[in-house]
Amino acid sequence: MLKNPSVKYQRFDPVSLPNRRWPSQTITQAPIWCSVDLRDGNQALAVPMNVSQKLDMFDALVKCGFKEIEVGFPSASNTEFSFNRRLIEENRIPDDVTIQCLVQAREDLIEKTVQSLIGAKKVIIHMYNSTSPAQRKYVFGKSKEEIIAVAVKGAQMIKDRLHRLTESGTQVTLQYSPESFSATEVEFAKEISEAVMDVWQPTPQQKMILNLPDTVEVAMPNVYADQIEWICTNIKNRESLIISLHTHNDRGTGTAATELGLLAGADRVEGTLFGNGERTGNLDIVQVAMNLYMHGLNPKLDFSDMNSLIQMYERTTGMTVPPRQPYAGELVFTAFSGSHQDAIKKGLTGYEQDKSRFGNLSAMTQSLAAVPVPVVWDVPYLTIDPNDIGREYHEVIRVNSQSGKGGVAYLLESEFGIELPKDMQREFGPIANDIVDSLGREVSGTELKQMFWKEYIERERPFSLHHFHADGVEGVFTCRCSLVINGKERGITGQGNGPIAAFVDALIKDAGAPAFEVSTYREQSLSSGTEAAALSFIQIKTATGKTVWGAGTDTNIELASIKAVLSAVNRAA
pLDDT at 364 (0 to 100)? 47
Averaged confidence pLDDT in the chain: 90
Q: What percent of the chain has pLDDT over 90?
A: 71
Tell me, what amino acid is at 545? G
Over residues 329-351, mean pLDDT = 83
pLDDT at 398 (0 to 100)? 62
Cα–Cα distances in angstroms (integers) from residue 549 to residues 201, 420, 466, 565, in the given order: 81, 11, 21, 9
Over residues 300-309, mean pLDDT = 96
Cα–Cα distances in angstroms (integers) from residue 569 to residues 467, 492, 513, 539, 545, in the given order: 17, 16, 8, 9, 14
Contact call for residues 227 and 259 (beta carbons, < 8 A): no
φ/ψ of 378, rounded to 5, equals -150, 45
CATH architecture of 31-317: Alpha-Beta Barrel (3.20)
Res. 468: pLDDT tops 60: yes
Neighbour count for residue 26 (Cβ, 10 Å): 7
pLDDT at 206 (0 to 100)? 97
Which segment of 117-121, 349-353, 526-530 scores lowest on mean pLDDT?
526-530
Res. 529: pLDDT tops 70: no
pLDDT tens figures, 178-232: 999 999 999 999 999 999 999 999 999 999 999 999 999 999 999 999 999 999 9
> What residues form DSSP beta bridges with 158?
none
Which helix or strand (DSSP H or E) is residue 32 part of? Answer: strand 32-35
Which residues, at least 6 apart from 110, have a Cβ–Cβ distance to it below 8 Å? Answer: 75, 103, 127, 154, 157, 158, 161
pLDDT at 400 (0 to 100)? 61
Banded pLDDT at 41 (limits 50, 70, 90): low
pLDDT tens figures, 491-516: 999 999 999 999 999 999 988 899 99
Res. 395: pLDDT tops 90: no
SS3 assignment, position 256: helix
Residues constituting the chain: 573
Query: Domain segments of the chain: what residues?
Result: 31-317, 338-455, 463-572
Over residues 228-251, mean pLDDT = 97
pTM for the structure as a whole: 0.77
pLDDT at 361 (0 to 100)? 52
216: nearest Cα among 251, 244, 264, 259: 251
Query: Of residues 289 and 392, which shows the higher confidence score?
Result: 289
Res. 543: pLDDT tops 60: yes
Half-sphere CA count of 465, side-chain side, radius 13 A: 26
Cα separation, 511 vs 504, in Å, equals: 10
Q: What percent of the chain has pLDDT over 70?
A: 93
Which CATH topology does 463-572 take?
A: Double Stranded RNA Binding Domain (3.30.160)
Res. 525: pLDDT tops 60: yes
Contact call for residues 275 and 254 (beta carbons, < 8 A): yes
Cα–Cα distances in angstroms (integers) from residue 328 to residues 67, 246, 290, 307, 390, in the given order: 22, 21, 10, 8, 10
Which helix or strand (DSSP H or E) is residue 547 part of? Answer: strand 547-554
Contact call for residues 536 and 556 (beta carbons, < 8 A): no
Cα separation, 350 vs 329, in Å, equals: 26
516: nearest Cα among 499, 537, 528, 500: 500
Which segment of 276-290, 517-531, 546-560 scores lowest on mean pLDDT?
517-531
Which stretches of 433-502 are assigned E, i.e. beta strand? 463-473, 476-485, 488-496
Over residues 461-466, mean pLDDT = 91
**Ramachandran category for residue 414: left, alpha or beta (phi over 0 → left; psi -120 to 50 → alpha):** alpha
Q: DSSP character for 101?
A: E
Over residues 364-387, mean pLDDT = 75
Which segment of 31-35, 234-238, 532-536 scores lowest on mean pLDDT?
532-536
Cα separation, 426 vs 15, in Å, equals: 58
Beta-strand pair 534-542/516-525: antiparallel
